[in-house]
Amino acid sequence: MNLPNRLTIFRIILVPLIVLIYIFPYAQFGWDMKTYMVGTHSISIVNIICLVIYALAAFTDFLDGQIARKKNMMTTFGKFADPIADKMLTTTMFILFVSRSLIPVVPVIIMICRDIIVDGCRMVAANNGKVVSAQLLGKLKTVLQMLTVALILANNLPFELWRLPVSTIMLWFSAFVSLFSGVSYFNQLKEDIFESK
């Protein structure tokens, strides 16, 4: 297994680690997790730790793609596993945020439904011997989602200091780009989807 694929697997492994740190019942064990003030706004040490691990995971996404292209190490496994790792990372975080009522559920439903439809399209294409790599819009969607998750973990800082709802705007923009890229994938593969044998 080459280095880009190992980085992809490492990113997948980091997902349950972030979840465990984020939802662990520290109070039940008598652990007082510190909260830091930035101006008049607070951020907990739990969020900071999750943000650092999340940033590491997001960086591996950039790194594995760069190495694979530069060293000509593109593989079928990489094309298959890389988008799955990205979706696991971002979708898991969005679901955690919804569970804590930090974000509205509608944009998250849009993004999850888009991913299900695109994955279905890819499965049909795979049946016809096609491996579909991520499109530019799909990559933009992933970047926007990763930035949005980072902002939410950071409690919208530093923008919250100026009362700018950047994380909310980014969330809805991510949902819009996600939907648009889903339509693009569907149009690209519709001949395979509606093919009659």
pLDDT in tens, 57-83: 999 988 988 888 888 888 878 877 888
Is residue 96 within 8 Å of 23, Cβ to Cβ? yes
The answer to whether the beta carbons of residues 167 and 156 sit under 8 Å apart is yes
The helix or strand, by DSSP H or E, that contains position 35, with its residue range, turns out to be: strand 35-38
Q: What is the pLDDT of residue 195?
A: 66
Give how far Cα 168 sits from Cα of 37, 41, 44, 108, 154, Å: 21, 17, 20, 12, 13
Whether the CB-CB separation of 75 and 5 falls below 8 Å is answered with yes
The segments of the chain whose pLDDT lies below 70 read: 129-134, 195-197
* Calpha distance 94→115 (Å, rounded): 13
Q: How many folded domains does the chain comprise?
A: 1
- Structural domain span for residue 185: 3-193
pLDDT at 119: 84
The whole-number pLDDT of residue 108 equals 97
- The pLDDT tens digits for 126-152 are 777 666 656 788 889 999 999 999 999
Check which CATH number belongs to the domain holding 177 and give it.
Answer: 1.20.120
